[in-house]
Every structure is written in structure tokens, then in C-alpha cells.
């Protein structure tokens, strides 16, 4: 029984994480300001207020909601950085997944139109990196936390599978007729569905920030090569 539940939990976790992932091509065409703004708006729509549905799961659900609110604030900070360093974040998004050699070509192309040192990507990247230090640390913690929260939610989905299925069916059946002002009845099923939505959004913002940080790290590692070239 334990093995069966664990397998189901891991399947549920993969579904939760998978629905929020973006391909490299999609990320490259994403306006970070618009995309982060959309995620923040969806977090607000899903909500992160405390719930009271069942003593056995309230602690987890409310702990996750508190974490969602915290990460929403990190997302707001990241969006401000994106606005202030739009040319850098666009460069990072477009060049995700490229080799060091390819990055050097892109750096040369970027710097070709630079009027002074402040306009070059290395200088801009240094300012961006400094601005995102705290955000990067928080996002690294989020990566670890998402694994734990995802597994716990996976167990919850299997434990309350019937209630979740019923809530999903009701949402599908009434979704086209429900007004925006209508309040959804709070049940174990709807609370778990909200937790799934919360976790999916956390995965999405985590993926965007992590993708940018990965490219930024690659560029920083190339800094010595840039300096050596003069």
C-alpha cells in the first residue's frame, strides 16, 4: 500500500510541476515584465489566505499559503529588477542554453553598439547581478522547498483523491456559468485544488528566475575571457 501511495504521489508531483514548465523557445520570447506580472496576478487570483477545512491538512495548506505570499513578494522585487535591467533580462532570456562560444558571439554583437563601458553587457550584468543577489538566494531556497511541498501535496492528492476529483468535476461543469464574484464553497477538495494551483505558479516563477540566473552565471564565468581579450 505504501509503495502504491508513493508512486501515485510522485505521479501527482510530476503533473503539478510539468504544467508550469516553459520550453527554452517560449522563455526566449517572453517579456519578463509582462510574464512576471501575469504570474503575480494569478497568485492573487488563486489566493493565499488561511483556510479552515480539516485539522489534518490545515497546517500544510496554510503553511503553503504563507510560503506563496512570501514568494509573491519576491516576484514583485524581481519584476522591479526586470524593469530596471530590461536589456539584460532580455539578453539572458534569448541566450538561454547557448554554449560559452555562442555566448561570446552574442556578447560581441551586443557590445558592438556600445558607446562606452557602461553600455557593455559585462558592466550591465554586474549591476544586474548585484541587484538580484537576494532574489537569487530566495529562489534557490524555493527550488529546494518546492520538492518537499510537491511530495507532501502529492500524498494529499492521493489521500483525498475522491474529493479532489469531485471538486475538479464541479469546476469543469460550472466554470462556464460561474460569475467572477461568485464565492466557491470551501471543501477539502477545493482547498487541495487551490494548493495545486499555488504550487504550479511557484514552479513557474521559480523556473523563470532560475533560467535567468543560469545564463547570468555562465556570463560571469566568461568574464575572465572578456578581460583577457581586453
Spatial contact of 36 and 84, defined as CB atoms under 8 Å apart: no
**Cα–Cα dist 60/149, whole Å:** 9
Share of the chain above pLDDT 70, in %: 77
Number of domains in the chain: 1
**Cα–Cα dist 6/218, whole Å:** 37
What local confidence, expressed as pLDDT, does residue 12 receive? 41
pLDDT band, very low/low/confident/very high, at 183 (cuts 50, 70, 90): low
Better-predicted residue by pLDDT, 100 or 27: 100
**Cα–Cα dist 39/58, whole Å:** 25
What local confidence, expressed as pLDDT, does residue 161 receive? 79
For the record, the C-alpha cell of 58 comes out as: 490545515
Which of 65, 72, 70 is CA-nearest to residue 49? 65
Stated pTM of the model? 0.75
What is the average pLDDT across 77-86?
Answer: 91
What is the average pLDDT across 68-85?
Answer: 92
Spatial contact of 88 and 125, defined as CB atoms under 8 Å apart: yes
**Cα–Cα dist 45/224, whole Å:** 45
Residue 9 has pLDDT above 50, yes or no: no
H-helix or E-strand spanning residue 73: helix 55-84
Q: Which residues contact 195 (CB under 8 A, 6 or more apart)?
A: 60, 61, 64, 153, 156
For the record, the C-alpha cell of 151 comes out as: 511530495
What local confidence, expressed as pLDDT, does residue 30 receive? 57
pLDDT band, very low/low/confident/very high, at 1 (cuts 50, 70, 90): very low
Residue 193 has pLDDT above 80, yes or no: yes
What is the average pLDDT across 98-118?
Answer: 88
Hey, what's the torsion of the CAs at 113, 116, 120, 124, to 10 degrees? -130
What local confidence, expressed as pLDDT, does residue 45 receive? 95
Question: What range defines the domain where residue 11 resides?
Answer: 2-229
Amino acid at each position: 500500500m505504501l509503495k502504491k501511495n508513493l508512486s501515485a504521489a510522485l505521479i501527482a508531483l510530476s503533473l503539478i510541476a510539468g504544467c508550469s514548465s516553459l520550453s527554452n523557445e517560449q522563455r526566449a520570447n517572453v517579456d519578463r515584465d509582462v510574464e512576471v506580472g501575469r504570474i503575480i496576478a494569478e497568485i492573487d487570483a488563486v489566493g493565499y489566505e488561511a483556510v479552515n477545512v480539516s485539522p489534518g491538512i490545515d497546517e500544510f495548506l496554510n503553511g503553503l499559503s504563507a510560503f506563496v505570499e512570501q514568494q509573491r513578494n519576491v516576484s514583485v522585487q524581481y519584476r522591479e529588477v526586470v524593469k530596471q535591467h530590461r536589456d539584460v533580462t532580455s539578453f539572458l532570456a534569448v541566450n538561454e542554453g547557448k554554449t560559452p562560444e555562442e555566448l561570446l558571439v552574442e556578447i560581441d554583437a551586443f557590445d558592438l553598439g556600445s558607446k562606452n563601458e557602461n553600455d557593455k553587457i559585462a558592466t550591465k550584468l554586474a549591476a544586474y547581478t548585484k541587484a538580484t543577489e537576494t532574489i537569487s538566494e530566495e529562489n534557490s531556497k524555493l527550488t529546494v522547498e518546492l520538492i518537499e511541498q510537491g511530495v507532501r501535496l502529492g500524498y494529499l492528492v492521493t489521500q483525498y483523491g475522491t474529493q479532489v476529483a469531485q471538486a475538479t468535476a464541479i469546476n469543469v461543469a460550472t466554470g462556464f456559468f460561474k460569475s467572477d464574484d461568485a464565492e466557491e464553497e470551501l471543501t477539502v477538495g477545493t482547498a487541495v485544488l487551490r494548493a495545486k494551483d499555488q504550487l504550479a505558479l511557484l514552479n513557474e516563477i521559480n523556473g523563470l528566475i532560475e533560467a535567468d540566473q543560469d545564463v547570468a552565471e555562465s556570463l560571469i564565468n566568461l568574464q575572465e575571457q572578456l578581460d583577457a581579450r581586453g
